[in-house]
Amino acid sequence: MYLFLAFLLVPIIEIALFIQVGGLIGLWSTLAIVVLTAVLGTWLVRTQGRMAMGQLQQAFSTLDDPTEPLAHGAMILFSGALLLTPGFFTDAVGFALLVPGVRVAVFRYLRSKVTVSSFQMGGDPRFQNMHSGFDPRRGAQNSGGPGDVIDGEYEEVGKPRDPNAPPSGWVEGPDRH
């Protein structure tokens, strides 16, 4: 229902604003403003997008929660689409989303409305047991020391190699140079 209202109301608001602004400053000035906001918006989206990508890469490299940088990137992308859409209302919303304080407020509002029921990181087994004290930056359990015993099982695969057999050819033997 909200999406239907947005598709209905936004064009009506844009048409009304075009008529009002065009009546005040004229047709060519109105069109120049629309083109100028698209060019300026494209430049701002590129610079803000680079900053958001840097923050996202930093979050991934330090294994921090990437939710906020991802949300900022999505809002910057959405603002770019709004700024490329001709109109004064969409330009105002697009420019507002380029302000970091507005994005933070929108993110906090959306975060308060979303409930995460479960979370699991990728298929890498190092990241499967985040709740058990595993610190992926250190590569070991937080509670353990260097003298801890690791319990495991193993089995040899294949036939044992005959010690009198010649080298396989894949590695250099003692008589090869």
Of 63, 177, 51, nearest to 122 by C-alpha is 63
Mean pLDDT for 80-97 is 93
CB 107 within 8 A of CB 71: yes
Question: How far is CA 39 from each of CA 16, 31, 52, 83, 84, rounded to the nearest angstrom?
Answer: 23, 13, 20, 9, 8
H or E segment and range at residue 140: strand 140-141
124 pLDDT band, cuts 50/70/90, is: low
pTM value is: 0.62
User: Band of the pLDDT at 149, cuts 50, 70, 90?
Assistant: confident
Lowest mean pLDDT among 22-31, 42-51, 131-140, 141-150: 131-140
14-71 pLDDT per residue, tens = 999 999 999 999 999 999 999 999 999 999 999 999 999 999 999 888 888 888 999 9
Mean confidence (pLDDT) of the chain: 81
